[in-house]
Chain A
């Protein structure tokens, strides 16, 4: 469970001489156990918003708090700890460490957390089975398809049951069956464990699962609707 408050977030990038407003006065209140889709055209600021909430990127102005803790005020070490203990990430691209196998990639975060070996490896096997990668545990990323790599990343993001999962285009490389499977898995975690999900996507299939749909454009929130999601 995570309650997130974003107040007046602004972020501009310089592209040559031009200023690009990636986040333009974004204010959001996210209740615990939310299941949110961020949609919007490419370049609308979805990735920037997710990165800011995860403490990966600095803002020009604004405040972000997760469960009352001001993320924008934490230093590097504390942010690393926050991500390690409470946030699961699925990035748009380049998610895996190339020299580690699928199982080792999933175990990576648990290793850094200091979990004992036996527990780690059991959890890693279970979660990989759940995302449909049974039998591929020992393959390196280069031996997996784009969709399979994405699923390894998802497995790693949820394996230690964070209170918040930030997923950036998690279905980009998946066929519709796998995408549906993945979204059901996410919803299951959300329904049964109250994990908060924020999923950036422009995939219509994904949006159907969302309990709340936030639309972005040019760095602004242009729509924010609760909706009745399809059943998982």
Chain B
């Protein structure tokens, strides 16, 4: 650029000017650093919370993608069933996108103890497949998990056991409808009790061996759903394609976003909220930034005039002020990023929310929060600060370039 300094000399000039009033610069650096820290740290907490809510939500579905009879979602009765997956299906799902899959019978049922009865969702499962999809045997708080599809036992939630006023080892009766709309019922012994992140889940799902449930309903080699889990819940297009190719052409393949649109909208709202949060923090910062730069410019009116008198172009002066601002922002970002990483990493083992845990549970969140530091969020925070920071600095920089040299020099 003619009429300007070479970039090295400009940089040196900007750097020295930055430290001319080092106290003011330090205060501003601190403000930027704390602002960036707040952007990243709070985002990591919110992300952690939402991630967990979504992961829990997906675990309760379960799976990232499910295969059903086309009418199943309108009427989840056993009438709407699909063939149990065969060897060809398993071979087709042997791709890197797929982490695990399992087939399950899933029907509304009534469970009765000698004291009480409740409506539940009966799951006829392959116990190993459930574990592959995310069921954690650590959550079995009494008794045992099912042994296999032939297990004649029943695993129920802690809360349901309370409601039914029954106990481990006792028998309960499950009642549902078979494909001919006739009552199908069968006695099961309670062999295990599980806990879930939410009480409502403990009350809803009861697990039994798949073949036992199939026998009870009078069906063979048929299931209600196939659940498939993948690697990245934010990106399930590949998974949907792989599963669609493998599944029966009449079956319906649905990703989790459609199975639970509330979860999906939560994720979207969160993405929007992160950006809003960052911009809000930046706006708070920007007042300080503009003020600092304006002060720095007003102090140096004569200097800018002198530079112009010596032949430096106005836009080169503007560029110099912008460079100063960029240095300030970059330094503040550096410190802020280090602070953010340093404060999130020690919490990666989880933050016990203790006293507020009950309130969080009501919102559908767990009691332990795992902050999630996402590269994308960190980049976004940095981009917001740099881009909006430069935009904000345009005004002071423009002012600096507008002084007429003679007026500037005449000021004494």
B402: min CB distance to chain A, Å:
11
- Residues of chain A lying within 8 A (CB to CB) of residue B310: 83-84, 89, 108-109, 112, 156
In the bound complex, do residue A112 and residue B3 qualify as a contact, i.e. CB atoms below 8 Å apart? yes
Q: Residue B306 at the A interface, CB < 8 A?
A: yes
In the bound complex, do residue A51 and residue B306 qualify as a contact, i.e. CB atoms below 8 Å apart? no
In the bound complex, do residue A112 and residue B4 qualify as a contact, i.e. CB atoms below 8 Å apart? yes
Partner of A80, one of B3, B6, B306: B3
Complex CA gap A99/B2 in Å reads: 22
In the bound complex, do residue B303 and residue A97 qualify as a contact, i.e. CB atoms below 8 Å apart? yes
In the bound complex, do residue B409 and residue A114 qualify as a contact, i.e. CB atoms below 8 Å apart? no
- Residues of chain A lying within 8 A (CB to CB) of residue B16: 99-100
B residues 300-314 with Cβ under 8 Å of A?
302-303, 306-314
In the bound complex, do residue A95 and residue B306 qualify as a contact, i.e. CB atoms below 8 Å apart? yes
Q: Residue B5 at the A interface, CB < 8 A?
A: yes
In the bound complex, do residue A100 and residue B13 qualify as a contact, i.e. CB atoms below 8 Å apart? yes
Name A77's closest neighbour in chain B (CB-CB). Answer: B313
Complex CA gap A225/B311 in Å reads: 32
Complex CA gap A63/B311 in Å reads: 21
Partner of B311, one of A93, A98, A112: A112
Q: Residue A111 at the B interface, CB < 8 A?
A: yes
A-B interface pairs (CB < 8 A), number: 76
In the bound complex, do residue B409 and residue A94 qualify as a contact, i.e. CB atoms below 8 Å apart? yes
In the bound complex, do residue A91 and residue B4 qualify as a contact, i.e. CB atoms below 8 Å apart? no
B408: min CB distance to chain A, Å:
9
Name A82's closest neighbour in chain B (CB-CB). Answer: B311
Name A156's closest neighbour in chain B (CB-CB). Answer: B310
User: Given contacts A56-B406, A93-B412, A111-B9, is CB(A80)–CB(B20) below 8 Å?
Assistant: no
- Residues of chain A lying within 8 A (CB to CB) of residue B13: 97, 99-100
Complex CA gap A96/B409 in Å reads: 11
Complex CA gap A100/B309 in Å reads: 17
The range of chain B's interface size is 20 to 34
In the bound complex, do residue A94 and residue B306 qualify as a contact, i.e. CB atoms below 8 Å apart? yes
A111: min CB distance to chain B, Å:
5
Q: How many chain A residues have a CB neighbour from B under 8 Å?
A: 29
Name B10's closest neighbour in chain A (CB-CB). Answer: A111
In the bound complex, do residue A112 and residue B312 qualify as a contact, i.e. CB atoms below 8 Å apart? yes
- Residues of chain A lying within 8 A (CB to CB) of residue B4: 112
User: Given contacts A111-B9, A114-B2, is CB(A94)–CB(B309) below 8 Å?
Assistant: no
Complex CA gap A56/B302 in Å reads: 13
In the bound complex, do residue B412 and residue A97 qualify as a contact, i.e. CB atoms below 8 Å apart? no
A residues 79-130 with Cβ under 8 Å of B?
80-85, 89, 91, 93-100, 108-109, 111-114
- Residues of chain A lying within 8 A (CB to CB) of residue B20: 98-99
- Residues of chain A lying within 8 A (CB to CB) of residue B307: 97, 108
In the bound complex, do residue A83 and residue B313 qualify as a contact, i.e. CB atoms below 8 Å apart? no
Complex CA gap A56/B9 in Å reads: 25
- Residues of chain A lying within 8 A (CB to CB) of residue B76: none
Name A157's closest neighbour in chain B (CB-CB). Answer: B310
Complex CA gap A156/B306 in Å reads: 12
A residues 56-78 with Cβ under 8 Å of B?
56-57, 76-77
- Residues of chain A lying within 8 A (CB to CB) of residue B313: 76-77, 80
- Residues of chain B lying within 8 A (CB to CB) of residue A170: none
Name A57's closest neighbour in chain B (CB-CB). Answer: B406
B313: min CB distance to chain A, Å:
5
Partner of A56, one of B5, B17, B309: B309
Q: Residue B405 at the A interface, CB < 8 A?
A: yes
Name B313's closest neighbour in chain A (CB-CB). Answer: A80
Q: Residue A54 at the B interface, CB < 8 A?
A: yes
Name B302's closest neighbour in chain A (CB-CB). Answer: A94
Complex CA gap A51/B406 in Å reads: 7
Name B412's closest neighbour in chain A (CB-CB). Answer: A93
25 contacts between A and B (CB under 8 A): A51-B406, A54-B309, A56-B409, A57-B406, A76-B313, A77-B3, A81-B311, A84-B3, A89-B310, A93-B412, A94-B306, A94-B409, A95-B306, A96-B306, A97-B13, A97-B306, A97-B307, A98-B20, A100-B13, A108-B307, A111-B6, A111-B9, A112-B310, A112-B311, A112-B316
Which residues in B have some Cβ–Cβ distance to A below 8 Å?
Answer: 2-6, 9, 13, 16-17, 20, 302-303, 306-314, 316, 404-406, 409, 412
Question: 8 tightest CB-CB pairs across the interface, nearest first?
Answer: A84-B311, A99-B16, A56-B406, A83-B311, A57-B406, A56-B405, A94-B302, A51-B406
Which residues in A have some Cβ–Cβ distance to B below 8 Å?
Answer: 51, 54, 56-57, 76-77, 80-85, 89, 91, 93-100, 108-109, 111-114, 156
Beyond known contacts A80-B313, A99-B13, A112-B311: 16 more, CB 8 A cutoff = A56-B406, A80-B314, A81-B2, A82-B311, A84-B311, A91-B309, A91-B409, A94-B302, A94-B409, A97-B303, A97-B307, A100-B13, A108-B9, A112-B312, A112-B316, A113-B311
